[in-house]
Structure 1
């Protein structure tokens, strides 16, 4: 049965044949075959931003760190040694505490000497790791603008590579993903602020409650409350800093790159499409 547009003059886009017979399409969806591609997942985009480009964007002579590879390897080795010896020291100290306070056995002199040796070794590894990084830190302090420029060039190279990868994605897709990333960013930042504030205010709330309702042995608890307050403030600040560095900063950077890619693709699409035809009637002669 053939389609007849004269039967439905009010719906010029109506077709009565095929699987969609009788369904009017007054506003057909445009097809962007030349500009459409699969948008990678958010994890892939974050991994692309975290990856270091293979070709260095700046020559080695312009590096702000100014350290040869062997001090860097030595610094990493010393830092790994510090972590290992510190964990061993904590385990040995916990064993001594359990052996003396829980099991009620006397401590052997060699166990105390071993714990002290592990502690000294961890401190030595930490100091050596700092000394290996000292030339780079001094170079940064001598010329901080140069180091900042190198970091900006590295970030720009990574972001430009991701922008080229997103060059065939439709702007509406990029804008939708950018809004979702911005929502996750607000959720992470709000959670970090809330948890940090609760950790910082919990000891203050305990002090307020002890002032309203005196606690048993309150005079002996002042020092413990001060220590608790200091520990909670440090833990809250460390948690907020960790969330900011590990979650908020990558999401904020990804949101910025997605917004730039959407803007660039929209302008390129408009440039390919050319000027829109004028719908104004021609002036009467």
Structure 2
């Protein structure tokens, strides 16, 4: 057996490094990529077994299938309506041909059909919306339980990853989160301020046909504000919120693994020599 210290050479009096059993065991565990972790957070867990006394499964599944079908029909008919309207505009404004009456009736029928599909999809979702309105706390608790089940599954998956790896990934995710949120705020602010800048420029330097452009400027300002708010909301829902959840899960996993590793390894043995008898 080699002693803990060596008196010869450059390492005289320096204790030998003791390998960390947690580090040597967990460094072989691969930390999944960030996209895999985000997919794990977005995946729904397996549904719990439903008691046999519940008899509304067929009605609920039928309502869900009908709602999805009506929503798909709304998307298809809306796309067809937009294509038909674009074709009519090109036929009338670009090609300078008169519009046949049946084409206008077709566009109107597609528009009515898309509105009917949208209203039907809303009616199919109405019982769920009413249940949420009647008892919002129960809906919120069920959503929290679902998120907790997903996060607990990911925590078990990250159980053999070293805390230093988790903390490093957590810092990278925090950096990406700041970049996404800064970009969303910047783009939203620019979209909201661009029409205001145009109004300011028109006040300093009058534009041609400025009197006729007041209504157009107001519409442009409203559209740009709505587009900026929609873009910020989209980035928040699709990017910022998943990254925040992943940041929270990585922090919890690092803390849990660090505490379990400290409990497993125990206090480091002392290297001081025993007192002489």
Within 5 Å, give how 1:214-253 maps onto structure 2. 214-253=206-245
Match of 1:189 in 2: 181
**Cα shift at 1:233:** 0.4
**Cα shift at 1:278:** 5.6
Contact 1:178 1:259 in 2 (8 A): yes
Match of 2:71 in 1: 79
TM-score (norm. length: structure 2): 0.89
2:11 partner SS: coil
Q: Distance in 1 between matches of 2:50 and 2:193?
A: 47
1:164 aligns with 2:152: no
1:33 aligns with 2:24: yes
Q: Distance in 2 between matches of 1:222 and 1:122?
A: 34
Q: Distance in 1 between matches of 2:176 and 2:61?
A: 38
Unmatched 5+ stretches in structure 1: 15-24
Q: Distance in 1 between matches of 2:156 and 2:134?
A: 35
Q: Structure 1 59/200 Cα, relative in aligned 2: closer, same or farther at 3 Å?
A: farther
Contact 1:100 1:106 in 2 (8 A): yes
Compare relative contact order (CA 8 Å, sep 6+) and give the higher one, 1 or 2.
2
Q: Distance in 2 between matches of 1:199 and 1:208?
A: 15
Contact 2:7 2:13 in 1 (8 A): no
Specify which of 164, 172, 177 is matched with residue 169 of structure 2.
177
**Cα shift at 1:30:** 3.9
Q: Distance in 2 between matches of 1:279 and 1:205?
A: 72
Q: Distance in 2 between matches of 1:250 and 1:60?
A: 36
Q: Structure 1 169/101 Cα, relative in aligned 2: closer, same or farther at 3 Å?
A: same
Q: Structure 1 57/151 Cα, relative in aligned 2: closer, same or farther at 3 Å?
A: farther
**Cα shift at 1:204:** 0.2
Match of 1:11 in 2: 11
TM-score (norm. length: structure 1): 0.87
Report the RMSD for the aligned CA atoms in angstroms: 2.8
Q: Distance in 1 between matches of 2:78 and 2:262?
A: 60
Q: Distance in 1 between matches of 2:151 and 2:258?
A: 18
Contact 1:13 1:26 in 2 (8 A): no
1:68 partner SS: helix
Unmatched 5+ stretches in structure 2: 1-5
Match of 1:199 in 2: 191
